Amino acid sequence: MNLNSNQRIVVFLLVSIGLITLPHINHIPLTIFIIFNACLVWRLVCVWKTNLLPNKFVLFILMVASVFLFYQQYHSFLGRDAGTSFFVIALGLKLLEVNKTRDIYLVNYLAFIVATSQFLYQQSILMAVYILFVSCVLLATLVSINSQTAKTFAALKTAAIIIAQALPLTIILFVLFPRVQAPRWMLFNQQHTAKTGLSDSLEPGAISQLGLSDELVFRAKFKGQRPPQNKLYWRGPVYSYTNGKRWAELKNSKTNSVVNTIHFSGKAYQYTLLMEPQDKTWVYALEIPLIFPQKLKKNFQYQLIDPENINKRAEYKLTSYTQYNTGTISDKERGQNLQLPEKPSARLKQLVTQLHGFDRPAEVFIQAVLNYFREENFHYTLSPPLMGDTPIETFLFDSRYGFCSHYATAFVYLMRIAEIPSRVIGGYQGGEINQAGDFLEIRQANAHAWAEVWLKNKGWTRVDPTAAIAPERIEKNVNIDLQIATGIINFSTMYTDGSRALSWLKQTRQMWSNIDYSWQRWVINYSTENQTKFLSSLGINNLKSLAYWLAGSLGFISAILAGLILRQQTSKQAEEVRIYQLFCKKMTKIGFNKKTAETAQQFAQRIAQSRPDLAEKVNKITQIYSRLRYEKAPSNKEISTLKKQVKELSFA
C-alpha cells in the first residue's frame, strides 16, 4: 500500500513521532535535535508535495552529514547519550523514506526505542504517563494502517483498549519476574547525571548558595513518633582539615571502621530514608545511626557510606538515637581535630583569652563563645560579604555577617586555639512535613553546617553556633517558598498537628509529592533486594514456587481477559445477529436458504438476481448488518433501524 495516498495516516504518524521525541530536547545536543525536526518538517511538507521527497542520492548525503556531525559530538557510538542521539537521527532520516507499509513498521519500532530511552534520563510518574500516552498514539498509527476504515479517534480508542488489556499482564511480570542485576561493565558510565548540594570541601558562604534551592535531597518516613525539630540533624561529610580558608574531609574518611564504642540512650527512632540520586556515597542518617543495612559502612567519624550508591536512587531502613556518648578519643584523632594551618593571629588569641578559653573548663568557654555570637553585633544572612584570604578573622572582627558555615567554621577555629578537639559537620537540618504522606521532605535549602566538640565523659558533642544567633533556624523549619521568592531567610513552624491550614496550592503539591514518593518507593526502587523481600512475604522462596506463581497468575489474568473479550464480542454481536437471523427465516419462507459458506453479501446478490423487486430492501438490510457486524459497535439507534427494515420487509 502506498502511504502517500492516505495523507491522514502519514500526518498521524508524524505527529506521533514528534510527541515521542519532544522530551529528548533536554538530553540530546541542539544540533541533533534541529536535524531531526528538519527531517520531520520536511516529511510533513511532503505529505502534500510528494515531489519534494528526497531521492536515494540526497538521502545518502544527508546520512553521511548526520553521522559526521554525530561523531563530532560524541566520538563514539556507545553510551546512553550517544545511543539515544543515534536512534533519534536514524528515526529522522528514516521518516524521509516512509512510503510503504513496511517502512511504517520499521519507523514504529525505532519510535518505541526512542520513547523508552526517555526512562534512562527520568523515571517520574509524569514521564511514565506521558510515555504511555505517546505509546498509545504510536500504536494507534498501526491500527490506522491496518484498518483503513478506522478514524483517528476510533484508532486511539482501539490502541487504548489494547494497552489496558496488556497492563495487568505487565504488572504481573513486573512484580514476579526475576529481576537480574546487569554486570557493572554493562552499565552506562554517565558523569554528572545526579548531584548533591554539599561538597567534600567547605568554604565559608558555600552553603548559603543552596538556601535558594528547593531541589529534593531525600525523604524520611518515621515509624511512630518523629524527633522534635531541634533534633533533626542529618549527618553528612565531616570536615576536620583546614588551610585557614577551606575545610575538607580527612583522606582516610572512607574507612569502614569505628574506633570506639558508642553508648546510646533515650528513644530509638526507626525510619525509612529514600535518597534522590547523587554523585556522592554519603547517606544522610539522623545523628547517630545504630542499625543500618549491611551494605552500608559507618566510618570512624560516624558517617554512613554506601560504596554503591552513585547516581541512583536508594532506600534504607535505619534506626538512630539522638542521645549518645562516643567515649574516648585517640591521640591521632585528637591531633587531627586540633590541626591549624599556622599559629593563630594575635587578635584571635586575644579573643580566646578574653572568653577564658585558656583558663576555664571547655564547657564554660563554649558557652562564652555562643554568648559572644548572641550578644555582639552578629547577623545571620543568606548574602554574606566576601571574606578574602582570612575569612575567620574577617568574619569575627569586621563583617560579622554570615551563614551557618561562617559560624560553624569560626567556632571550630576558636575551639582549636583553646586546645579543644573540634570539627565542622555538614549535612541537613530540619525538613518539611508532608501532611498527605506523613513523611519529611529535606531539600537543598535545608543544608546546614554545625560544630562538634570532644568533651571529657561526653565524647563528641554537637554544638550548633547558628542557634545562638538565629535560634528559629533550629526550632522552626525553613520556609523555602518565601526564601526563594524574597532572597531573605524565612522560617515557618512545623505542621505537626495539622491545625494550621495549608493553602490549596501547598496541599496539592504535597498530595502530588506523596504520590511521587509512593511511585519512587514501590516502582522505581523495586530492586532485586526489594523483590526478594516481597516474594518472601508471599512464601515464594525458590524458583520452583516462583514459576508456579508466575504461570498461575499469567494464566488467571489471561483467562479473565479472554472471558471479558469474548463476552464483549458476544454481547455486541448478539442483537444484530439475532435480527439478521429473522431476516434469513423470512427469506426461507420464499425459497431462499442461506448456505453455510455463503457470506451475507453473496446471499443478498443471489436474492437480487432472482427477485429484483427485493434487491433494494435486501441490499440495505445487508449493508446495515455488515457495518454493525464487522466495522463498529452497534448503537441502539442503528439496531432499531435494522430491526425496522427487517420488520417492514414484505413480499408481493
pLDDT in tens, 450-480: 999 999 999 999 999 999 988 887 766 666 6
Q: Which residue has the higher pLDDT, 340 or 310?
A: 340
CB atoms inside a 10 Å sphere around CB 312 = 17
pLDDT category at 148 given cuts 50, 70, 90 is low
One domain for residues 276 and 240 = yes
585 burial level (CB within 10 Å; 0-12, 13-18, 19+) = exposed
Element (H, E) at 491: strand 491-492
| Amino acid 242: pLDDT | 94
- Least confident range from 149-163, 318-332, 385-399, 536-550: namely 149-163
Domain end call among 142, 176, 210: 176
Instruction: Give the residue-averaged pLDDT of 201-210.
Output: 77
pLDDT above 90: percentage of residues in the chain: 27
Checking if the pLDDT of 260 tops 60, the result is: no
Checking if the pLDDT of 391 tops 60, the result is: yes
| Amino acid 238: pLDDT | 95
Checking if the pLDDT of 392 tops 90, the result is: yes
One domain for residues 65 and 149 = yes
Q: Which residue has the higher pLDDT, 651 or 246?
A: 246
Name every residue whose Cβ is closer than 8 Å to that of residue 614 and which is 6 or more positions away in sequence.
607, 608, 649, 651
d(C-alpha 104, C-alpha 100), whole Å: 7
| Amino acid 581: pLDDT | 87
Nearest residue to 215 via CA among 436, 440, 441: 441
Strand-pair partners of 478: 491
One domain for residues 278 and 367 = yes
Structural domain that includes position 153: 3-176
One domain for residues 165 and 259 = no
Q: Is residue 314 part of a domain?
A: yes
One domain for residues 363 and 316 = yes
Checking if the pLDDT of 199 tops 80, the result is: yes
d(C-alpha 281, C-alpha 150), whole Å: 54
Q: Give the mean pLDDT of the chain.
A: 83
One domain for residues 155 and 215 = no
d(C-alpha 221, C-alpha 274), whole Å: 8
Q: The dihedral of CA 591, 596, 597, 602: what is its sign? A: positive
One domain for residues 369 and 482 = yes
Checking if the pLDDT of 553 tops 70, the result is: yes
* pTM (whole model) above 0.85: no
One domain for residues 450 and 579 = no
One domain for residues 494 and 621 = no
Q: 428 phi and psi, to 5 degrees?
A: -135, 150
One domain for residues 237 and 338 = yes
Q: Which residue has the higher pLDDT, 487 or 366?
A: 366
Q: Is residue 518 part of a domain?
A: no
Q: Which residue has the higher pLDDT, 423 or 60?
A: 423
Instruction: Give the residue-averaged pLDDT of 415-430.
Output: 95
Domain end call among 143, 176, 209: 176
Q: Is 97 helix (H, G, I), strand (E, B) or coil?
A: coil
Instruction: Give the residue-averaged pLDDT of 97-101.
Output: 75
| Amino acid 185: pLDDT | 41
One domain for residues 81 and 224 = no
Residue 64 · residue 93 · CB < 8 Å: no
Q: Is residue 528 part of a domain?
A: no
pLDDT in tens, 3-29: 544 677 778 778 888 888 888 888 788
Alpha helices in 96-207 (DSSP H): 101-116, 125-146, 152-176
When divided into structural domains, the chain yields a total of 3
Domain end call among 453, 486, 504: 504
pLDDT category at 510 given cuts 50, 70, 90 is confident
d(C-alpha 284, C-alpha 235), whole Å: 5
pLDDT in tens, 27-81: 788 888 888 888 888 888 887 887 787 888 888 888 888 888 887 787 777 778 8
Strands (E), 204-363: 216-223, 233-239, 241-242, 247-248, 263-275, 282-283, 285-286, 289-291, 297-298, 304-305, 314-325
pLDDT category at 195 given cuts 50, 70, 90 is low
One domain for residues 10 and 84 = yes
Strand-strand pairing, 439-443 and 432-434: antiparallel
Q: Is residue 181 part of a domain?
A: no
Checking if the pLDDT of 595 tops 60, the result is: yes
Q: Is residue 235 part of a domain?
A: yes
d(C-alpha 598, C-alpha 604), whole Å: 10
